[in-house]
A and B are shown apart, each in its own frame.
Chain A
Amino acid sequence: MGLLGVFALHPVRASAQIAAPAPANLHLGPVRFYADLSAGEQTATVASAGSGRAEFSLDRQTLTFSWRVNVDKLTSRALGVSVNGPQRPGTNAGVQIDLAPRGLATRLQGSAVLTEAQLDYLLAGRMYVNVRTARYPAGELRGQIQRVPLTAEQLAALPEPAPPIRVTSSKAPSVAASPARAQTARRPRTLGYVVANWDNAIYESRFMDECPEGPAIGNDELWWRGLSRADKDKLTDKGLVQPVDRRFVSVFRGPKGEDVCWNPRLVKDPPLRTVKGKVAYGFDLDGRSDGRATPKSCAHSNFVGVRGERGVDNQMYRLLGCHYGWRRNGVLDTFGNEERRNSGRGVILLEIKGVTDERDSPNVEVGFYRATDPYQIDSAGRILPWASYRVDTHDGKPRYGAVARGRIENGVLKTEPLSLKLPFYGNAAYAELDLKDMRLELDLKPAKDGKVHGLVGGYYDFDKWWEYMLKLEFLIATGDWSCPALYQAARELADGYPDPRTGECTAISSAFRMDALPAFVVHESAETPVRASR
């Protein structure tokens, strides 16, 4: 008989629906409920002078629901006492908890652990106590379960309500923190995500405010300007073809016909039109807002962040922001994401460990990994949430990636800086994403599309970045950019990690907008079997 191969998974979150906050109000003690029982509460007409009271206590940590029930003056022998729900108008609900599992008595005591659904029903006020008797088998006494109001002392001991959460992504709406509810302690959990989209964080408002000189001039235009009239006639004697078809000729505009992307210093293009606007996405990477040089940065201009924060370092935006290809209607990042989705290459995983509360966890560990599995795609071509991805591992360790310390505040994950290298894939090109002082800010509350949105910032290693740009040469016409101008400007704008010998900065401050979907991050090891953790 063929037995199945087995291996273990690290504990991963199995459901996104469970989002209860940590029991921050444990000092207030258990939550108390009560129900006054009478015949008048029944839906049918019952002639009974019976009465009773049920008192309940709910442990915030364990969800243990304890009860004491007294009934008196029933018309006949009791058949059962139960908590029923969820109540719907005009009908009787089903039994949720049998309050007399060991038999009936005038005074009943017991306890049970509530399920998530029962807790919801209870807090929504949709549970009631029902006492059934021989004369009234559907129910003789009934009483709605209500919460005992907090005392004045308990009210005084409540913390201030949490402020509304501001999300960093412009796509997601602002939400307020949900009110406190019966709280449960949860063991630290692990959240997993797969990065769905990764774009250069280009701030766009009014184009002419950002790029008063106009759009950056692409290679095709510069090549055309350098041609003689005779050359122009010759090249167009069969008619003018599109820039994308002309690029096979246009990149070879070095003095001896060299490819100017691979030899960007051979020609002197007009200076690149760079962003002159004041606002950008990003982080303060060098700890200064005056733009002065530091031991790990070169002098440069700062931006103001989208939330008004000062000292934002994002020279990459300054470099790319006036290019059609990298803006919203351009195709470079769009192509890159689409191609990554369809090819399944360059899949990046995020793993957040040690989460005790998805709104506030002071000490978490954030892992960035490369996946060996491609995306799982639905019938509409979208990436499926909750797929499983194996971490690319070699000799029992992840081949790529790093682990950062972080914290979750008001539902937003923020990581400490770290150096990150991950193989990046986009537009049919592999490159190494080499970010120094990388930090991530990720809003863990999913948007309507189910994705979580975030911002990544750091100093992108210049050589690694240019290597990727060279591989995008085939899109030089589609993206309408020029290698010599871009290279020259990038050298001037680079602001991170000066070379000790030359003083020239070797990295460019950058920011990327990313979104991700919930996923299971699988670390392979030889244990059995898989158990879901909730």
Chain B
Amino acid sequence: MADKIPRQKMPQQDPAKRIHNFNEVPLGYDEKTAVLEATRCLQCKRPTCVEGCPVNINIPGFIKAVKEGNPLEAFAVIKQTNSLPAVCGRVCPQEDQCEKLCVLAKKGDPVAIGNLERYVADYEREKQHYTFTKGETVKGKRVAIIGSGPAGLTAAGDLARMGYSVTVFEALHKAGGVLVYGIPEFRLPKDIVQYEVDALKAMGVTIELSRVIGTAETVNDLLSSGFDAVFVATGAGLPLFLDIPGENLQGVYSANEYLTRSNLMKAYRFPEYDTPIVKGEKVAVVGGGNVAMDSARTALRLGSKEVYIIYRRSKKEMPARIEEVERAEEEGVIFKLLTNPVRFIGDEKGRVKAVECIQMELGEPDASGRRSPIPVKGSEFIIDIDVAIIAIGNGPNPLIPKTTPGMDTTKRGNIIADPETMKTSKRGVFAGGDIVTGAATVIQAMGAGRKAAKAIDEYLSTGVW
């Protein structure tokens, strides 16, 4: 019977309308749809879906509660292992994780686990039934967490629950990491992130905003000023550039800058908000990941008429979530695949006015298994643009590694940490999330935060490093 019900689609804002606003695109399930979707789950004895989830949510368990009309119970089940369900339900690459391993995926469409998770978390938030109890700081030990992205927030929640006194240091004036400065409002409304941050505060976690560690105080200073352990969760916040001519012209942005101006600083509401952003008529976004899709879709919403994605491989190799690529297409983003920029061309005032590109073809698979692109000689062509956004990835911000002697890093500058305990080479210092793995996913960063919390507890309880 179950397989007769099709996977329930989530209603979305119409593309023609949504490109004129920053409101969320998918609108959420109503109760009836959620229950219907929940009945599709076979309640497997050996649920493979759980293995696909980096924090091993009891998926059949929470779906059963949804089916029985008990979203708050479902919420409690999810919360046992996932501290940010409203976020994960929205931005997890489910097609590569939980849903990929759902048994139903073998013959047809998997259960919409992410959509259901979102439904449950939204229900709880909107009804506010769940009360967060302030953790008792019973352990008498203090932990410092650097960075308030998903890794830092998760570790903070877990440690507070265990009874530690936790302080999160965040460089920016808002907590949330990429969730507030990177991922746009139309994919992840900022009040959801704020709700999660408020919940942590209610649990007794101290959040020190606008505190950059590594300029005045270092990790060593934290250790000697009364913190018993430090968790470094500073993310992959260093924008990479193409290093081609013209990259410093006016109107050429890193995706981080473009998205930070728009999301964190609300430049999309300029001049109501003071932060400006160059709103181009024609915009070229270089890259093929989520960051590139977010930038392109932001440009459309800021009023740009023609928005190009310039990507050097083919669509198959694009690292962005399929769903996001589809939405970008629906919204009218133009894909220039197998194309690579070679230089930006400026006008006499130093503003970007065009980008010269070259056609690429795919050669033999490289070390990563992907076929590497090779330029086609003589195939150069020019696209007129007035804004360019470089979204080719982020490296680790060197501020902490540079100022923490004794903490080893890779050649690229990522902190080396044990994959199970998140221990670094420096006693008392743990690290996890994008600063260790390089740019990855929200849920992986959360998984690292969780493991770190467990290992920190062990270390502080036993004193054994």
Asked if A pairs with B, the answer is no
